[in-house]
Amino acid sequence: MKGKILTIALSLLTLQTVNSQSVYPGMFESEQKIKSGIEYPVKCFNLNDVRLLPSRFKENMDRDSVWMISIDVNRLLHSFRTTAGVFAGREGGYMTVEKLGGWESLDCELRGHITGHILSAYSLMYAATGSEVFKLKGDSLVKGLSEVQKAYGTGYLSAFPEELINRNIRGTSVWAPWYTLHKILSGLIDQYLYSGNSQALNLAQGMANWAYAKLRNLDDGVRRKMIRNEFGGINESFYNLYALTGNDDYSWLATFFYHNDVIDPLKKKIDDLGTKHTNTFIPKVLAEARNYELTGDIASKNLSEFFWKTMIDKHTFAPGCSSDKEHFFDTNRFSEHISGYTGETCCTYNMLKLSKHLFCWNATSDIADYYERALYNHILGQQDPKTGMVAYFLPLKTGSHKVYSTPFNSFWCCVGSGFESHAKYAESIYFHNDKGVFVNLFIPSVLSWKEKNVEITQFTDFPYEDEVHFKIATEEPSQFTVYLRYPSWSKNVEVKINGKKLRVRTNSNGYIEIDRTWKNGDEILVKYDMKLHWESAPDNKNIAALLYGPVVLAGKLGTEGMKAPAPYSNPELYNDYYTYDYNIPENIENKTIVKSIKPERSFVKKGDGLKFISDKGVELEPLFDVHRQRYAVYWKIEE
């Protein structure tokens, strides 16, 4: 059945232009009512300007599309309709529609979050492929939500009763009602931006109008108490809605959710993040990033950059992920937190979003280096290639393994952000300024640069090989600059233009600038030198991950002790990722002790591709390719 769905989806593929806008820097700002308050050094391309060519990324995107298409719209609408008193479905009369599992099965305020993520994912996949099937699914979902909002009659739109919002306002214990509303609101905005669905924008405005009426008369003490609960990035969405409509009420809503206890210390450059919930924290900084872009508030810019650097320098594991059991921790004891519950995927999803904003402000290669690290080693590796299911955590404890979701019973937040992440790989490969195009990621793809009437095709099998090939197509000679990222992991980059070697120089931002008049058929060949190297834990130089270029290598440790339902989550539980017992065999860590700080002495290349073997006989491959078995990422080094 899944194969049939994929065949239908791909057969509908067209390369039509999507009527999309974006709240990302520089994209379609002329169509927004509120113009940007800053000048961007670089800007994004539209997602529909880039098409992926065959690669591991394209394979992940295709599997993602199969899964999201297979989910019945009526099941996504089930709890919305039930809560609002609208029948669950009709087919020759009333019928029973089964609700989804995971968080969606709970009688709490997390119900409906996956519908918000799916709204975004359908629109992103439509922009990324042009396939009408994703627009049709999104349109059906929006239409159903419109009926629900109409039944409420106030603009409120949710799968849980409004009373949970009232409890939140009263300070009574609740989980995260505004977090779920954020996912729905963000999904509706994305439906408008990427799929051109004006009804979705109307629903989003209805939600915002309801929220304004609900909150406008609350005093500051009530406000501060209310936002102690997780609210996701709903203030970012209110900023985006304000930019699209010009309605000042939505700007007020965005500032209402300003979390003083979190943001004020960052303004003072205090980097003590304590043990706060990591993914509650990051979206609040994303809202500040949007505030800077819309208003030019330099304090919001500075705190966003300070937070990003703090995260990268102190709180990030080798694969680009962060958090242990979803929380920050004492970084002076970093190596003690290399556990089976590291790397909540939503944290990486949001860090990539923040990185994209910062890159458009600064256009420096270090930001792109992090983006590449996290995208390859975490996001790409989140998905099981056999089934398309995804993992909540990226466990880094030696002997642990990835724990995958199930098709209809594991709808967690990281499943939702996963739907989105695997749909939008193409969005950060290329950027542009008035002079030229930036190449940030080495992913096979075709860029249609409409303003220049130029098409750039990238061919590569990176990171399995070290060469990247570009071909220029243009009807007339065109003068522009190609900015090639010079990554920090490569020390000897070679560039050839039409077979002629170019003298390589980098600018102050870490890019090789090639400024020339390009003709149809011109080619660029780039060779990136990659070597094995250690990356130590910040608190212990003798605990380290092994990388080849930007790729984290994982030692394959087999399947001993893995019993069903492993490597999957237990489908009978709404979650078990937080308490999962890996049943790690005794003495498995002995296989991951090496006796040299020079990796080439303990690890040798084995065959084609990125396959290595340790001096104890442990085989290594890229972490993103190691699935359905135990592995090691951090090794103990005995000098």
Task: Quick: pLDDT tens for 216-245.
Answer: 999 999 999 999 999 999 999 999 999 999
CATH 2.60.40.1180 location in the chain: 432-460+467-527
CA-CA-CA-CA torsion sign (137, 141, 144, 150): negative
Tell me the two tokens of residue 130.
């042009």
Q: Which residues contact 89 (CB under 8 A, 6 or more apart)?
A: 74, 81, 95, 96, 97
**Would residue 92 be called left, alpha or beta, if left means φ above 0 and alpha means ψ between -120 and 50 degrees?**
left
What is the C-alpha to C-alpha distance for residues 567 and 405, in angstroms, rounded to an integer? Answer: 9
Task: Quick: pLDDT tens for 146-199.
Answer: 999 999 999 999 999 999 999 999 988 888 999 999 999 999 999 999 999 999
User: Quick one: 211 exposed, middle or buried, by C-beta within 10 A (0-12, 13-18, 19+)?
Assistant: buried
pLDDT of residue 35: 80
CATH 1.50.10.10 location in the chain: 2-428
The amino acid present at 175, given as its one-letter code, is W
Which residue positions in the chain have pLDDT lower than 70?
1-31, 88-95
CA-CA-CA-CA torsion sign (427, 433, 436, 439): negative
Q: Does domain 2-428 have CATH number 3.40.120.10?
A: no
- CATH number for the region 432-460+467-527 comes to 2.60.40.1180
SS3 of residue 614 by DSSP: strand
Average pLDDT, the chain: 92
What is the C-alpha to C-alpha distance for residues 399 and 328, in angstroms, rounded to an integer? Answer: 23
Instruction: Give the pairing of strands 634-637 and 593-594.
Output: parallel
3-state SS of 46-79 is CHHHEEECCCHHHHHHHHHHHHHHHCCHHHHHHH
What is the C-alpha to C-alpha distance for residues 185 and 20, in angstroms, rounded to an integer? Answer: 17
Torsion (CA) 303, 235, 33, 152 in degrees, nearest 10: 180
CA 35 to chain CA centroid, Å, is 26
Tell me the two tokens of residue 11.
């057969």
Are the CB atoms for 240 and 272 separated by under 8 Å? no
Residue in 320, 339, 230 with CA at minimum distance from that of residue 329: 339
Angle between helices 56-70 and 413-421 (to 10 degrees): 120
Q: pTM of the predicted model, to two decimals?
A: 0.95
pLDDT of residue 22: 44
